[in-house]
Homo-oligomer: A and B are copies of this chain.
């Protein structure tokens, strides 16, 4: 399977490295909006093209992985490049998924390609777990917790505070809340009861630390509804301890069965990820394999992770899956 990457940031590099772990895949080229000469792929022999030349690669790529951002890149890129390729993206603006799906579906069908949007772990594997859970236990409750991990949006917000030189924010699920859900007692949890926010800040020299802390903790939407802690650290400590992008989280479905609803059940799915972009990339590639197969079967249109039978994700033939994994 021949793969192309559009966008060589954290996610694009993650896809590149994950392709090396999948023997049935080959990275053909990377497309960039920057000067192609400025990009040094980690993989020998991989060509770098300007995105302006992307049409010329039609027929030479089985799946194009779109590694742009959800705010402005993907709403334009995914429908645009579904004209030329099977495409997959990690569009994660939950509220705009229906609109994005409709745009991509129309183009993909017109041009006979398969597209898959909103792939990764949330949306993605977590969504699949929510769906399985609610289908299996129709009378029950869903809980999703995120972390411990780096929130890019909240880290960006910290860095916009006056006097802040660098900053990183970790979202942390509250242990008592996890335990309450696990026990099957179906708690109703406020925003504050579910997650903590922990910030590591490198301040500019001479900055007013109390003011920075106050600005962060009271920031509307981002921090005001949470219990937030702010740690001021040196640039060296920041570089040493906070240069990675870990993440993870938990999806629960709790529910009851029985003639008298007398039996409780708890389904828990959790991820502990050293690298958010690399794990996301790994999920994307498994689903890229699936849409390539669907395309070979003559399918077209936009799909989501909900539409993909698990067998399509594996390089192993169906007989082997049944014999060894079922």
> Contact between B282 and A258 (Cβ–Cβ < 8 Å)?
no
CB A59 to nearest CB in B, in angstroms, measures 27
With A127-B325, A323-B98 known as contacts, the answer to whether A135 contacts B314 (CB < 8 A) is yes
Report the nearest B residue to A319, measured CB to CB. B98
With A17-B257, A22-B138 known as contacts, the answer to whether A307 contacts B311 (CB < 8 A) is yes
With A127-B326, A271-B265, A326-B123 known as contacts, the answer to whether A14 contacts B309 (CB < 8 A) is no
With A98-B319, A131-B314, A322-B304 known as contacts, the answer to whether A257 contacts B279 (CB < 8 A) is yes
> Contact between A137 and B282 (Cβ–Cβ < 8 Å)?
yes
Chain B contacts of A258 at CB under 8 A? 17, 275, 278
A136 CB–B CB distance under 8 Å: yes
A130 CB–B CB distance under 8 Å: yes
A118 CB–B CB distance under 8 Å: yes
What class of interface size applies to chain A in its complex with B? 35 or more
Max chain B Cβ within 10 angstroms of own Cβ: one of A14, A132, A136: A136
> Contact between B132 and A125 (Cβ–Cβ < 8 Å)?
yes
Complex interface residues of chain A between 311 and 326 (CB less than 8 A to chain B): 311, 313-315, 318-319, 321-323, 325-326
Max chain B Cβ within 10 angstroms of own Cβ: one of A132, A310, A313: A310
Chain B contacts of A127 at CB under 8 A? 325-326
Contact of A282 among B21, B136, B283, B318 (CB under 8 A): B136
Number of copies: 2
> Contact between B130 and A286 (Cβ–Cβ < 8 Å)?
no
CB A101 to nearest CB in B, in angstroms, measures 6
A231 CB–B CB distance under 8 Å: no
Chain B contacts of A125 at CB under 8 A? 132, 136
CB A280 to nearest CB in B, in angstroms, measures 10
Bound-state CA distance A42–B263 (Å) is: 17
> Contact between B269 and A264 (Cβ–Cβ < 8 Å)?
no
With A131-B310, A257-B18 known as contacts, the answer to whether A263 contacts B283 (CB < 8 A) is no
Report the nearest B residue to A142, measured CB to CB. B325
Chain B contacts of A304 at CB under 8 A? 322, 326
CB A99 to nearest CB in B, in angstroms, measures 10
Chain B contacts of A257 at CB under 8 A? 14, 17-18, 21, 274-275, 278-279, 281-282
**7 smallest A-B Cβ distances: which pairs?**
A263-B274, A135-B313, A306-B311, A257-B278, A263-B275, A135-B286, A266-B272
18 cross-chain CB contacts under 8 A: A98-B323, A127-B326, A128-B310, A131-B311, A132-B313, A134-B314, A134-B325, A136-B282, A136-B286, A265-B273, A266-B270, A267-B270, A268-B268, A268-B269, A268-B270, A306-B311, A306-B318, A308-B309
